[in-house]
Chain A
Amino acid sequence: MSESFTKSTARNIFWGAAVFSFLLFLALTFDTTAALPKRDNRANLTPEVVRGKHLWETNNCIGCHTLLGEGAYFAPELGNVYIRRGGDFIKAWMKAQPTGAPGRRQMPQFNLTEEQLTDLVAFLKYASEINTEKWPPNIEG
């Protein structure tokens, strides 16, 4: 880099860039926050859904599964599993784990009560109704 371009010029560029970038990012964040109510399905954030999310977290489902494409890549995407399988299947599935099929990837038994399963399904239904710009590309997730 040329001599006339000094370290203090470089430092000023850095600070200018940092301030500008964060302000722009904050502006976009405000705009997003304003746009979210129409997209994030918050109308359906019922007490069941809130409890369901808590169960989702405290059983670390994200440690094997993705949810809206984020998480682990060991087991199927669950953001759309409510659409793919339906609530009854999900409940039956949770009760039937682990499959014990030799050599097949295993999912633990979480011993959830019927009420907890209803909450979990409510959460997965809520997640499936978020406007994700048509992601995933198809039902297999």
Chain B
Amino acid sequence: MQYKSQAVAKPYFVAAIGLFVGQIVFGLVMGLQYVVGDFLFPAIPFNVARMVHTNLLIVWLLFGFMGAAYYMVPEESETELHSPKLALILFWVFLVAGALTVLGYLMVPYAKLAEMTGNNLLPTMGREFLEQPLITKVGIVVVALAFLYNISMTVLKGRKTSITMVLLLGLWGLAVFFLFSFYNPANLVLDKFYWWWVVHLWVEGVWELILGALLAFVLIKVTGVDREVIEKWLYVIIAMTIITGVIGTGHHYFWIGTPGYWQWWGSAFSALEPIPFFMMTVFAFNMVNRRRRDHPNKVATLWALGTGVMAFLGAGVWGFLHTLAPVNYYTHGTQITAAHGHMAFYGAYVMVVLTIISYAMPMLRGRQANSNKSQVVEMWGFWLMTVSMVFITLFLTAAGILQTWLQRVSSTPMPFMQAQDQVAIFYWARELAGVIFLIGLVVYLFSFFIKGEEKAKA
């Protein structure tokens, strides 16, 4: 660790991992409810578990992004953070707000929660991923702005690198597009149209800039390849992201009341969206092959390569699978979507956050890398989680293909609930893979507590 103030990243990373555990537990609850429909009913209805699962995911990824920024920006800018104190205050505000929101979901009926938290003043709740009460949403904006102020001031007073520029652009974009979550017209089509300006323009737009910046930073560190080369790649990748991903939003405008021409625009541009993900994979492998040093942190390199591969598979391949309008006509809103959502989120955003944590955590704890023993255990965590996620995706894809066939393609279409019964075996298999994922996560956590002989001081 080169700058004292980088230390504020540590609580962010710890909180991120803690919330990750919570996310997976609720995932397993839902996975069981899929096959044992009355499990935990009415204490935790499916929709409540789902809100907790997805909102925890988003919140812990945001913790990860913020921690990453606090770690990277001082080092890139070659100066201390503008205000470490502000960063710590924001940490507690965000954590408490997040915890209260989740408790609210679990303890209070949703309609009551909406009433209590001012949803009647400005209705924003009850839409997928944007379920947070108004006060939480406002809180997110306040924390995001104060965070951006802190980071931007640091960049302004120090060295400006392409990596920090791209990171800042991504983070500002994240905050700006979140503002569309406050726009919820009564007109359902308009509501849905702008809902995607948050969701799609996040994961297939500005978040990809953050992803690229984090990956580039870690690759510079672990490979020692010339910054000029890495930053050139970064710009080309994000240029492709924007060219394909912005108009690619149209792949969500096929069947929600928007004009038919979106079937052409959306299919054509989103079909090209795998390109930037493919470039990221090539980029990661290329840089590691051309490495100028052998960094002792082997497992961070593994995570970085894994991110490239899995993001390409989850977002690129599984995205392409259902992005052409004639295919999407049949697969829209089925388990195929869930399969893709899981592998893409895991491969791109979960893995990149675990990459930066894997690289930065040892530094924050005063060493260049963890002991060999600890790294080997972390690698077990990597493989267990990643392989189970591949299986979760495959089982959901199988369920999705059958569901699509039985319910949508067949000349004697089967009702939804009946079709679900037919594919139950795959839901059981998904749940089993999910349990192994959780075991992998526990192994991963365990690796943090393994001492072993220490490597050279940072």
Contacts and interface: CB of A to CB of B under 8 A. Distances in A.
Interface of A: 1, 5-7, 10-11, 13-14, 17-18, 20-22, 24-25, 28, 31-32, 35-36, 39-42, 45, 49-50, 53-54, 56-64, 66-77, 98, 100-106, 108, 110, 126-127, 130-133, 135-141
Contacts of B47: 60-64, 72, 74
Given A18-B242, A72-B128, A106-B41, A54 B254 contact: no
B46 A72 contact: yes
A76 B187 contact: no
B186 A49 contact: yes
A17 B243 contact: yes
A110 B408 contact: no
B36 A103 contact: yes
Interface stretch (B87-95, B305-313, B368-376, B409-417): B409-417
A13 B241 CA distance: 12
A6 B232 contact: yes
Given A58-B119, A135-B329, A140-B415, A73 B335 contact: yes
Contacts of B232: 1, 5-7, 10
A1 B444 CA distance: 36
B82 interface: no
A11 B163 CA distance: 12
A59 B111 contact: yes
> Taking each of B242, B409, B415, which has the highest tally of chain A beta carbons within 10 Å of its own beta carbon?
B242
A122 to B, nearest CB: 12
Interface string B256-290: 11111011010000000000000000000000000
Interface stretch (B135-143, B189-197, B356-364): B189-197
Nearest to B131: A60
A13 B38 CA distance: 54
Contact of B231 (A7, A53, A75): A7
Nearest to A62: B128
Contacts of A127: 188
A130 B42 contact: no
Given A7-B232, A108-B42, A56 B257 contact: no
B18 interface: no
A138 B329 CA distance: 11
Contact of B242 (A14, A50, A59): A14
Contacts of B229: 1
Interface string B33-46: 11011100110011
B46 A39 contact: no
Given A10-B239, A69-B332, 19 more contacts: A14-B239, A18-B242, A36-B190, A36-B259, A39-B189, A60-B131, A61-B126, A70-B128, A72-B46, A75-B46, A76-B415, A105-B37, A106-B38, A106-B42, A127-B188, A133-B255, A137-B329, A140-B416, A141-B416
A64 to B, nearest CB: 5
Nearest to A42: B187
26 contacts: A5-B232, A7-B231, A10-B232, A10-B235, A14-B236, A14-B238, A21-B247, A40-B190, A53-B188, A57-B125, A58-B111, A60-B48, A69-B256, A70-B252, A71-B333, A73-B335, A102-B38, A103-B37, A105-B34, A105-B417, A106-B38, A108-B42, A133-B254, A136-B408, A140-B413, A141-B407
B123 interface: yes
A73 B334 contact: yes
Question: Which of A70, A77, A136, A138 has its CB near the most chain B CB atoms (within 10 A)?
Answer: A70
Contacts of A49: 186
B279 to A, nearest CB: 11
B330 interface: yes
A62 B236 contact: no
Given A66-B333, A103-B36, A135-B329, A25 B260 contact: no
B257 A68 contact: yes
A42 B128 CA distance: 22
Contacts of B420: 105
A95 B242 CA distance: 48
Residue from B333, B413, B414 having most chain A Cβ neighbours under 10 A: B333
Contacts of A6: 232
Contacts of B192: 68, 70
